[in-house]
Amino acid sequence: MTIRKKRADRNHVIYKVTCVDTNDTYIGLTVANGQAYVRSVKVRWQKHVSRAVCEDKAWGMCVALRELAECDWTYEIIEIVRGRKNAHARERELIAELAPTLNTF
């Protein structure tokens, strides 16, 4: 049996989540599921919400989701990046550039 190497050239979606009421933001990254970029971000958003509710993490995003549960939240795609290393590097650049308030450093 041959073990396949994981693909490193998949598309990744860099997205921004915003709390409409407070204007707090979060920059995140998720693997794109085919060409369904918006759906990939929606699934990742649902994981953020689930983790905030089910786990007692002290991460900025989790705390905000628990404290601001009644607020309106929006998410948007910032960029599509090919390759894992490139995507993680670009995410770090955008975090430094945009200074989101909910990212835990």
Cβ-in-10-Å burial (0-12, 13-18, 19+) of 72 comes to exposed
Q: What is the pLDDT of residue 56?
A: 86
Greater model confidence, 105 or 2: 2
43-71 pLDDT tens trace: 999 999 999 999 988 899 999 999 998 89
Q: What does the pLDDT read at residue 34? A: 86
Q: 16, 90 in Cβ contact below 8 A? A: no
pLDDT at 15 over 80: yes
Exposure string for 53-65, b = 16+ CB within 10 A, e = fewer? eeeeeebbbbebb
Is the pLDDT score of 8 beyond 80? no
Is the domain 11-98 a CATH 3.40.1440.10 member? yes
Check if the beta carbon of residue 26 is closer than 8 Å to that of residue 74: no
- Please, are residues 94 and 78 in contact by the beta-carbon 8 Å criterion? yes
